[in-house]
């Protein structure tokens, strides 16, 4: 069986929001020709990532420190001075991750 349509993130968000507004999920899925399991997967991703839109730069850095403390080097003020990932990067100021 071949791969289906490739949906953009904006299209996925619009589909999910329709369900969150109260539209019947089976109607949405029939209209866009997707399975309900796909809809619920997208909805889960959508709801999981909502808090990220309200994060500030410092909150993002704190979360990164929690997730990967062995990969980060932090100075005494709490600023990240280097990040060791696939390549080591050195930062004179706070890094820009996004």
Q: Is the pLDDT of residue 57 over 60?
A: yes
Instruction: Say what percent of the chain tops pLDDT 90.
Output: 44
Q: Greater confidence, 53 or 47?
A: 47
- pTM comes to 0.56
How do the domains of the chain map onto residue ranges?
9-52, 56-90
| pLDDT per residue as tens digits for the range 15-49 | 999 999 999 999 999 999 999 999 999 999 999 98
17: left (phi over 0), alpha (psi -120 to 50) or beta: alpha
- Nearest residue to 81 (alpha-carbon basis) of 11, 16, 72: 72
Res. 58 pLDDT band, cuts 50 70 90: low
> What gap in Å lies between CA 36 and CA 3, rounded to an integer?
17
> What gap in Å lies between CA 15 and CA 39, rounded to an integer?
8
18: part of which helix (H) or strand (E)? helix 9-20
């Amino acid at each position: 069986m071949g791969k289906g349509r490739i949906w953009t993130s904006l299209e996925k968000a619009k589909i999910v929001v329709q369900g969150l507004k109260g539209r019947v999920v089976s109607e949405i899925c029939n209209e866009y020709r997707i399975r309900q399991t796909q809809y619920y997967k997208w909805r889960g991703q959508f709801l999981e990532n909502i808090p990220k839109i309200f994060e500030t730069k410092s909150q993002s850095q704190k979360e990164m420190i929690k997730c990967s403390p062995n990969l980060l080097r932090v100075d005494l003020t709490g600023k990240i001075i280097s990040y060791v990932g696939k390549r080591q990067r050195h930062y004179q100021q706070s890094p820009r991750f996004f």
